[in-house]
Amino acid sequence: MGHSGVHSVVVGGGIGGMSMALLLAAAGRRVTLLEACPKIGGFMQRFRRGGVPFDTGFHFTGGFENVLAQMLQVLGIDDMVKEAPFRSRIFFGESGRRLELPGGGVDALADYLASEFPEKRDAVYGYYKCEKAVVEHTPMFDLRDRDLAEKLMLNEYDLMTLDEFFDRLGVAGELRAALGSAVMCHGTPPCESSVTNHCRVSFGLGNHIARVERGGDAFIDGFRREAEKLGIEVRTGVRIAKCPEVVGRRECRRAVLSDGSELEFDDAFLAIHPKAILELLPPEAVNAFFRRRVGEMEDSCGFFTVSGVIDPAAEAVPELTSYLSTPDLNRILLPGGGGTGTGMVIAEERDAAGKPVRTFTAFGSVWPEATARWSEKRDAAYFEYKERYAQKIYDEVYRVYPGLRGRIDWRATSSLLTCRDYAPPTGCAYGVRQKLGCSRIFGRLPVRNFYAIGQSALIPGMLGTMMASFLMFRQVAGEAAYWKLIEARLR
């Protein structure tokens, strides 16, 4: 297709970068996507063992009933990304109690938890009333939303931690953990997360959790198809090595790449970790305040993952079980807290021959300190660590699923260092923690034609990262270009 003459470069080929590249190209821009890793996709990528596909980081999502379906239509990949049935449960490690969370939306979820904790019935309904109000006042949960400015204004839930809100409701113990369990899907503990940050993620998963047929491959294949149609240049194994000069109104329009080539452009969108953004910006353009902002940011947890294939004769259905070693979620999501949270996902897949298989993936929260000494060299002690930690997760799995003992063929393990290979520079699962009182890096950067997007920008996870790209596109391309695209593509 023809281009407007504006050349945009997108740095980072995860879901945020892929979404941004498609939006800019669909609006008529010439787009170059740079990905430092050998393949695009980030945590959307999958790997295979014995012909069976396994997820690296993207396991499930919310939003198929609203904004995700809209975004897929606008990106032109809704025919590629199909929902697969899924359900959710919670298992409390200390008591052995199980909560079988219902489908049917947050109202059904509220009714269920009110019946499980009848003495706190009013508190349960109060929490979900808040959750729905937060989503109603969140920009871009409906791409046709025209009240953007009003919804960007702060409200009381932006200024209150989740712990403070739970204290106000008077909830504790396992109910507190159940209402807050989605912290495991955004990585910021209740003592640090705003109510708003948590509810945006929690609502999407509680209202309609789902898997995607073919997992992240569906998104990546859809992107590749549309990128070819739109003439997007995709370059992998290359990054911006330096921006040699800042000109005019503190802008940079030329970069030297790691392969020695040069790239000229009009603007750049950085879908990478804030610390990688800081390293990329010309030093003369960055003041001490910005450096301090980035330096104060702390990563979310990473995951240690085990992956296997379930015996065809065993009983198992597609579902997520959130194993919480303690109901104190802060102990799970703060470094050194001593608690662990492990997501356990049973999925239906097809192997390389097209034969149906069921996979089991369990991913437990870990911190960089556990593998720091092997950051540069993975020796025999590292592989001993992997064996020990894998056994810990196996023990958790068999406690939750005793009928699967001896019925899972474990095929792969991965540490935080493995995750770093997919999502440099740290391998953390959800970017930086979205701590109340700490400003995020989103939008225009000290180099004025550079913009920050990605999962550390607004809302972590696949859905929130895509939403950040749509919001940034709307702000940079302008209302006219945004609505032209929405009206042309959104059914």
For residues 196 and 303, state if they share a domain: yes
The answer to whether residue 219 sits within a structural domain is: yes
What tens digit of pLDDT does each residue of 279-336 get?
A: 999 988 999 999 999 999 999 999 999 999 999 999 999 999 999 999 999 999 999 9
For residues 373 and 485, state if they share a domain: no
For residues 141 and 71, state if they share a domain: no
What tens digit of pLDDT does each residue of 80-98 get?
A: 999 999 999 999 999 999 9
User: Average pLDDT of 14-35?
Assistant: 98
What tens digit of pLDDT does each residue of 95-108 get?
A: 999 999 999 999 99
pTM: 0.96
User: Average pLDDT of 224-228?
Assistant: 99
Domain around 11:
7-82+213-297+441-489
User: What mean pLDDT value characterizes the chain?
Assistant: 95
What tens digit of pLDDT does each residue of 345-354 get?
A: 999 999 999 9
% pLDDT > 70, the chain: 99
Which of 389, 422, 455 represents a domain boundary (last residue)? 422
User: Average pLDDT of 356-361?
Assistant: 99
Residue 172 has pLDDT above 90, yes or no: yes
In single-letter form, the type of residue at position 242 comes to: K
Residue 256 has pLDDT above 70, yes or no: yes
Structure confidence at residue 194 as a pLDDT band (50, 70, 90): very high
Tokens standing for residue 252 = 């940079």
Q: Number of H helices and number of E strands within the chain?
A: 16, 20
When divided into structural domains, the chain yields a total of 2
The answer to whether residue 432 sits within a structural domain is: no
